Amino acid sequence: AHSNAELLKRREAAVPRGVASAAPVFASYAENAEVWDVEGNRYIDFVGGIAVLNTGHRHPRVVAAAKAQEDLYTHTSFQVMPYAPYVELAERLNALAPGDHAKKTLLVTTGAEAVENAVKIARAATGRPGVIAFTGGYHGRTLLTLGMTGKISPYKKDVGPFPSDIYRAPFPSARDGITVQDALTGLRNLMLTDAQPERIACIIIEPVLGEGGYVPVPSDMMQALRALCDQHGIMLIADEIQAGFGRTGKWFAIEHSGVVPDLITVAKSLAGGYPIAGVIGRAEVMDAMIPGGLGGTYGGNPVACAAALAAIDVIEEEGLLDRSTVMGEHFKTRFAEIGARSAPYRMWDIRGLGGMVAVEFVTDFATATPDADLTKRVVAHALKRGLVLLSCGLHGNALRIMTPLTASDAIIEEGLAIFEEALQ
């Protein structure tokens, strides 16, 4: 049997430090909202593989669907000999996505790849190069998506230059005193100073900022973006990679605003632990690229397609959208209680949409100065006591809830008790 220390040593020698791990322990087994390490220690999982496991680790129906597919074929490449699960998943996603217009779906493998393809499609459809993204946004680690990602350290540090024609607009922030009005003024000014609107292909936004701190886009802001896009013939892309598939209590977080985007990027909890991602969009926009212009050897892998179809069934049949809303309210209430009991540790701005909840730590309430150091220590102490947590935010001072929506109330309570202990 392995020990964590031995594996850590081998990992340090064999794997670049650039791929950092939040936990210094190695997984051996996982089930629903629990993980065990190679030394048999048990952890409650509030991270779900970074928002991938809304249906939990190894949901029996997801695993059974993947295994059944493995017994038929695991790969032909959709570009060589297509297969039904890809088509079925595309149909399913087209029906789930907001808007009653005709839709089509491209399947790829990772979130970054989905974002890359959404931009390619928007460029081909509009004949324009420009991309507008937001402060604190996260869209991936490939060079185009890094250019769009709005946070330098650690993602963008020392790897530029990034592709041109990417512009950055402000994201509303209570802590920084940036209102929706300010953010929209910033965007309109951007369109007067640098980003010529008729040269802009797309505006891409996460309906709830993910890596950037679990900050929902206010509905009036989303509606204003839609109006601006309509006015200038710009594609509105909702990056739902982290917020989608029930995390916010709806299939897609943008549904909370009533806004219908032109393109949606999806990944993560779409397939309950299998690598697959996609772009869902207006049929005529999705058809902008010529045959052969889209794809990739592994895009829409059949095993992952089968898993995704099962994960969607599970979200539907187990009522996980409603569960997410209830769970989110519960986390907010409990965070407020724990916050009240745990001064001098300042928990500020408990926020979120549905089960996509975060809490920020600050050094003092008056200045709301981010406390990344405390956040790090809480994560480390929680792990030692058996709870996996992950931080987020432009300042690294927020803790985010990505707990499987299938987690029992008892497990959540146990996790929250560990969180409070770690905080104390």
The site for ligand PMP (CB under 6 A) is made up of 50, 110-112, 115, 138-140, 206, 210-211, 239, 241-242, 267
**Nearest distance, CB of residue 344 and ligand PMP, angstroms:** 32
Strands (E), 272-319: 277-282
**Nearest distance, CB of residue 139 and ligand PMP, angstroms:** 5
Of 342, 358, 372, 373, residue with least CA distance to 403: 358
**Nearest distance, CB of residue 321 and ligand PMP, angstroms:** 19
CB nearer ligand PMP, residue 110 or residue 173: 110
Beta-sheet pairing, 235-239 with 215-216: unpaired
CB nearer ligand PMP, residue 97 or residue 115: 115
Orientation of helix 302-317 relative to helix 84-96, angle to 10°: 40
Beta-sheet pairing, 200-205 with 235-239: parallel
CB nearer ligand PMP, residue 140 or residue 249: 140
CB nearer ligand PMP, residue 374 or residue 389: 389
**Nearest distance, CB of residue 211 and ligand PMP, angstroms:** 6
**Nearest distance, CB of residue 400 and ligand PMP, angstroms:** 11
Q: CA-based angle 239:244:245, to the nearest 5?
A: 155
CB nearer ligand PMP, residue 45 or residue 239: 239
Locus of tokens 């991938």: 52
Identify the three-state secondary structure at position 128.
coil
Nearest to ligand PMP by Cβ — which residue?
A: 111
Identify the three-state secondary structure at position 342.
coil
**Nearest distance, CB of residue 297 and ligand PMP, angstroms:** 17
Distances 280 to 71, 199, 253, 265 between C-alpha atoms, Å: 29, 23, 14, 6
CB nearer ligand PMP, residue 197 or residue 212: 212
User: In this structure, are residues 200 and 91 in contact, taking their beta carbons and an 8 Å threshold?
Assistant: no
